[in-house]
Structures are given as structure tokens and as C-alpha cells.
Structure 1
Amino acid sequence: MRIPDCLERPVISNIVAGLITAVLLGIAGLLWGNRKYLAVLPALSPGARRVRVSMAALLRVKDEDCYVLFSHPYRPGVYGPPGGVVKYAEGARRTLDSVGFVEQRSAARQAAMRHDLRGFLPLRSVISFLRWYASGRDRESAVDCVRRELREELAEVGHPELVPLAGALTLTLVRGVFERPPKYGRAERVVRRFDVYDVIPDDPDAVELVNRLVALGRDPAEQQVIAVSSADIELGRHGPFLVAPQSAFLLGTRRFNADLPPLR
């Protein structure tokens, strides 16, 4: 039996509206299920063949508007907060292979960058990689990363006497930031995670470490550890020294300056 013309149009309209509603609900469900990663979606443009990822943790050592930065061992004149890239465990190799992760290492730092969660992924694998990272499986925690990096960097800046004070620091998370800097070249996007921690002054060693680092930063004769203000971080410079752009995350979730040229 033929549907009368007066009824056919409303029926078709209802079908179309139902399909549109179903699509919108599907998109909403997808976004809700991946809501933790909405910040990275602009980096996942269809034109990108691969995405560079880096998972890092930083330590904020401060006294009022005074932030302690360490000299970079491979970038003379550049200073940034203690911390570095989280490392994966041997057990993660199968998972990382399954998502197509390829490590990024500079020729001069092959040993130091071993097992770093810094490298390249196919566009389709980024969310899967981030979900694995969020699970905490087969990798060091961000807290352990900060402790390890701090011990290493204290020796690098010429103050190994402070390493024993950093052995069992209690840390508290200040913020986690997914950063989306501009794409590199024509076909590469970047997704970086920074977790920023403060020291909890719950024992004498922690208090002494913070106090001594602040004192070193304020010592004009000290060249490896400096103390900068929030204005210096925004400017990207403290006197003759450059302030590394990731230092901005000691203050908030927004960077102020462009990346320094990458090392090779």
C-alpha cells in the first residue's frame, strides 16, 4: 500500500533525524570515552603520517617567586627544571612494538636515552599508546622518574654531595599537561606530556635539599644552578642565560616560548 504524500515526507524526515541523532550520539560517546585525550586531538590531523610523542616529569623547586633551574649538560647556557623523560621496562617491548613505537635517540646520547618514552608513532596508534601509558604498566612512574633524574642531574651540575638527600623524596603532583606544540616539518605532529611535582617537606632531608638548592640558585658565584622569577620564565631568559621553554609548566599549563632547535 502506497504511503500518502502527506505522510511520506514526515516519515522520511523522522528517519533522517534519527540517523543524525545516532551519529551525533556516537560521536559524543567516542569523545566522552576519550575525554582525557581531547587536548591531543588537534595534533592528530589526518594529514600527519606520524606523531612524535614524549612522556616527561619535572620537579618544581621554589621559594615564593624563585624557581630553581639546572644547566643543561648538552646545551651550554640553557637552564631548565630538574626532570626528564619517563623510561619503559623490558616488559613493555611487545606493547610498544604492537603500536609501532620507534624510539628517538640523538647520536651523542645513545646510552642516556635508552628506554626513553620519546619517539614516533603512526597516527592511528596515539590514543592506544596514551591509554597504555595511563595504565602505568611496564614503565617507571613519573615520581620514580623525577627521583632518578634528580640524582643524575645533581651529579651533572657538580653537587653530588646532595644526592643522598634525594634518595626518598615524597612528591606531590602539581599538574599534568598535554602540550601541543606546532608540527615539525610538513608531516609530523607532536604530543608531549609533562607531569610537574613539588617536594613535600615531610622530613629533614627534604627540607635541607630544597633549602640548599634555593641557596645555590641565589648564589651569584654558582653557574650550574640558578634561581629565576616567573617573569624570567615568561621572557625565556635570565640575564645571559636561556630558560628552557618547558619551564613554563612550573607556572601553569601554557607555554610562553617556542622550542629550542632539536639536538642531533
Structure 2
Amino acid sequence: MIAKPPPAFLPGRPDRVRISFSVLLRLVEDDGFVLFDAPKRPGAFGPPGGVVKYFPPAGRILESLGFQPERTGSPQRKLRADLRGILPAGALRRFRVWFASGAYRETADECLRRELCEELAEVGIHGLDEVVSELKFTSVRTIQEGPHSVPGKNYRQLRGFDVRELAMTNSAARRLNRTLADAATDDAYPGVLLAGFDDIAHGRLDRALIAPQSAFLLGPARLAPDLPPLR
């Protein structure tokens, strides 16, 4: 008798879809891109940014769609109100309509400003909150992946990545860009690095792994599978 494979290796269930919508910041210095150490994936570096959050009125809308928020993550970085979790497949069309409306959720710019304040502190760069509040951004590209099956998971997955870059229209943008470019080449800030096109395509720079979503800084194609996060 042939043993059945364990549940972890069954195909993704068509009735469950994991969603995750993020904003990434492309910061270019010469031929390199500024990347930050990722707390959920120690030793891996990716673009500044993170998952879009929703506001309290959206909680009722998402609850009516059967949304189950994802609750993994370290105690230091809670995932409250993140647009990351499981939806019934039948609710996906209505979710897309709501997301596209922009109602009761962060804009891309709001998400980036919040994430930058958090992540700058994590990599040891302080005193720039006022600078961050003055930043504006322009769109580079928007990528949607899926929904498709995920090896080893019992769901399909739909992800969106909104890639933005600094609008270099004021002194705040120039100051942030200069500060991060300097930090990326300063040993005093090991949580910041500058990675070139070839480094991102290869997925490693010296001892540092480069998170696969970094490829979206270069173009719309993913070049490597995901790295598993901390639980």
C-alpha cells in the first residue's frame, strides 16, 4: 500500500487564498539599491517598505468577506491590521473591488512613511521622523502575483507589490537619500547595504542574503522563491 503524502505537501486548496499587499521603496545610489535588514528574515536584506494596513472601518468589511488575519511574527513587530491573511476564494472579487477603491486603508505613501519611521529606527538611523513626514513618492510599477498554488501550503496565494521611489522635489528627499546612501557604505550601520543589479539577481552579497522581492526594484519578474520568515 502506498502511503499518502503528509498534508503539508497537498496542492493548494482552491477555496482558500492568502493575500498580501505591500509597498516597496526603490532608493538608487549610483548603480546600487539601498536595502535594509529584514527582522522577520534575519540575515536577509530587502527594500524599505512593508505591508499596507487597514483602518478600523475596514475591519467590518473584511470580516464580512471572511478574512482571517495572519497572526505570525515576533512580539516586537505585531501584524495588527495588516492586509495579510486568508480569504475564501469566493470573496476574492469583492476584496479586489474594495482594495481598488482605496477606502479605509493606507495609501502607498502613507504606508511608506509609517514603515520608514519604524525601519530607520531598526537599522539604527534616528532623528529623521520629521524628514520622513515631508516625503513624496512617485510610482515605478505595480505587480500582482497569483492567485497560484504555493508548495507545501494548503492555500493559493495572491500578492501585490507597489514599487515607489522618492520624488526628489524637496530637501527632505535629498537628505534621506544622502543619509541612507552614506549608511549603506558605513560599517557602523550593518543593517543597511547597497546592492547592485548582479547582486540582486544572484540573491546574495557577501554573507548577506537578498530577499527575492528586491527583484521588483529591477523589473516585474521574480527571480527566486521566497525565504521563509520567522514564525
Task: State the shift of 1:196 in Å.
Answer: 0.6
Residue 100 (1) aligns with residue 58 (2): no
**Structure (1/2) with the larger helix percentage:** 1
Q: Does 1:86 align with 2:52?
A: yes
Secondary structure of residue in 2 paired with 1:260: coil
Of the three residues 140, 146, 155, the one matched with 1:188 is: 155
1:142 aligns with one of 102, 105, 108: 108
- Which of the pair has more CA radius of gyration? 1
Normalising by structure 1, we get a TM-score of 0.78
Of the candidates 246, 249, 253, which is equivalent to residue 213 of structure 2? 246
Percent sequence identity is: 45
Whether the 8 Å contact between 1:244 and 1:260 is mirrored in structure 2 is yes
Q: What SS does structure 2 have at the residue aligned with 1:134? A: helix
Q: Counterparts of 2:132 and 2:210 in 1: how far apart (Å)?
A: 24
Name the residue aligned to 1:119: 85
Q: Show structure 1 runs of 4+ deviating over 3 A.
A: none
Taking the TM superposition and a 5 Å limit, the aligned residue runs for 1:221-236 are 221-236=188-203
Consecutive unaligned residues in structure 1, runs of 5 or more? 1-44
Offset of residue 248 of structure 1: 0.8
Is 1:179 paired with 2:140?
no
- Match of residue 200 from structure 1: 167
Q: Give 3-state SS (helix, strand or coil) of 2:124's partner.
A: coil
Amino acid at match of 2:38: H
Distance 1:227 1:241, change over 3 A: same
Unaligned runs of 5+ in 2: 1-10
Q: Does 1:151 align with 2:113?
A: no
* Contact 1:49–1:187, Cα closer than 8 Å, also in 2: no
| Offset from partner CA, 1:95-116 (integer Å, 9 cap, x none) | 1011111000115248621000
Q: Output the amino acid matched with 2:55.
A: A
Cα deviation, residue 208, structure 1: 1.2
- Contact residue 12 and residue 149 of structure 2 kept, 8 A: no
- Cα offsets for 1:144-198 (capped at 9, x unmatched): 0011001110011100123332112010011110023651435311100000111
SS of residue in 1 equivalent to 2:144: strand
Corresponding residue number in structure 1 for 2:130: 164
Root-mean-square deviation (CA, aligned residues, Å) is 1.9
d(CA) in 1 for partners of 2:200, 2:207: 13
1:239-259: CA deviations, max 9, x gaps?
100001111111111011111
> d(CA) in 2 for partners of 1:158 and 1:169?
20
1:28 is aligned to none
Higher strand share goes to which structure? 2
The correspondence for 1:211, drawn from 178, 185, 210, is 178
